[in-house]
Amino acid sequence: MFKRRHLIGIEDLKREEIDHILDTADSMLEVSTRNVKKVPALRGKTVVNLFFENSTRTRISFELAAKRLSADLLNFSGSSSSLSKGETFRDTVQNIEAMHPDIFVIRHAASGSAQYLSSFTKYSVVNAGDGAHEHPTQALLDALTIRQKKGSLDGLKVTIVGDVLHSRVARSNIFLLRNYNTRITLSGPVPLVPEEFKELGVEVEYDLDKALEGSDIVMMLRIQRERLSGIFFPSLREYRKYYQMTPERMKRADKNALLLHPGPINRGVELMKEVADGEQSVILDQVTNGVAVRMAVLYLISGGTNELDH
């Protein structure tokens, strides 16, 4: 049973709740394969996409999810709004609230913004990525993809590679996977993979070849080259040398290992195109599953109640 009214992060979810979302998402997959790709479950509900930070992929994924459940959808983008005229976050939200939506989907560059929104709005909140905190639907769609291909999340060795420090995707995935019997190893340049992550119950191995040994799941993270190069690692050339996923490196992992990436991918930076398009890559399955997971989340939270919150 899933009784929550908001989805702020994976951290406070129990294993049963995660399983319930994934089971529901499994059923939602079928809707997207029909001729009429629509069910009336959320008819009459209004979903507001509040995107204070750009993200085409996540926004259209939530948009399709809402529409396939027959909800009405409003897209709000921070860059083209009154925010640029000096309106505060809270004023912006309260103006939209006055038009009676039902669910806010929020993406914001500040960690904690989804939590903050849920503290004063009377409507449901889904976190679509807040700063370096969490991106819960990404971890859920990763889990759904792994479960589809591997049958279960239990017993897997998972290696997460790249900019863990700034990655809400890595955090949400760690919070999710530690509910199952998994072994998680982080790898990347020292400044981007601080030892403190060990407190979350994961291992840290700076030698990527060693980290990959016997891995069932390889999760690559996006390198924001414009922001990181020269500060967190000396040069892109050096990053490629030590941390780029190449077909040779991939062979270190289990022969049936899956390669995941949250997108958008930087071909030739964190992974070579032979790997991105290779047989072990499930990057496009992740995109398909993203819509199903978001349908499941929108459906489940709209049945949630106030009193059981947080």
Partner 1 sequence: MKIKAKIMDSRKIAAALKRLAMEVVERNHDLKNTAIVGIRTRGVFLGERIQKMIEKSEGVTLPLGILDITLYRDDLSTVGPHPLVKGTEIPFDVSGKDIILVDDVLFSGRTVRAALDSIVDFGRPNSIQLLVLIDRGHRELPIQADYVGKILPTSRRENVELKLKETDGADEVRIVEEE
Binding residues for partner 1 (CB under 8 A): 1-3, 20, 23-24, 26-28, 30-31, 34-36, 38-42, 44, 69, 296, 299-300, 302-305
Whose Cβ is closer to partner 1: residue 12's or residue 248's? 12
Instruction: For the CB of residue 298, give the shortest distance to partner 1 in the complex, in Å.
Output: 10
Instruction: For the CB of residue 118, give the shortest distance to partner 1 in the complex, in Å.
Output: 18
Instruction: For the CB of residue 135, give the shortest distance to partner 1 in the complex, in Å.
Output: 23
Instruction: For the CB of residue 40, give the shortest distance to partner 1 in the complex, in Å.
Output: 6
Instruction: For the CB of residue 138, give the shortest distance to partner 1 in the complex, in Å.
Output: 22
CA distances from 130 to 24, 52, 127, 195, 204 (A): 24, 10, 7, 23, 24
| The token pair that represents 297 in the structure block | 């989340």
| The token pair that represents 183 in the structure block | 């072994």
Instruction: For the CB of residue 296, give the shortest distance to partner 1 in the complex, in Å.
Output: 8
Beta bridge partners of 77: 51
Whose Cβ is closer to partner 1: residue 17's or residue 163's? 17
Instruction: For the CB of residue 4, give the shortest distance to partner 1 in the complex, in Å.
Output: 9
Instruction: For the CB of residue 19, give the shortest distance to partner 1 in the complex, in Å.
Output: 10
Question: At residue 60, what are phi and psi to the nearest 5 degrees?
Answer: -70, -30
Whose Cβ is closer to partner 1: residue 141's or residue 164's? 141
Distance between CA atoms of 284 and 290, rounded to whole angstroms? Answer: 10
Whose Cβ is closer to partner 1: residue 3's or residue 178's? 3
Cα 177 off chain centre by: 13
Whose Cβ is closer to partner 1: residue 160's or residue 298's? 298
Whose Cβ is closer to partner 1: residue 147's or residue 166's? 147
Whose Cβ is closer to partner 1: residue 27's or residue 82's? 27
What are the residues whose beta carbons fall under 8 Å from the beta carbon of 68, sequence distance 6 or more?
A: 28, 31, 32, 37, 38, 39, 291, 295
Whose Cβ is closer to partner 1: residue 26's or residue 205's? 26
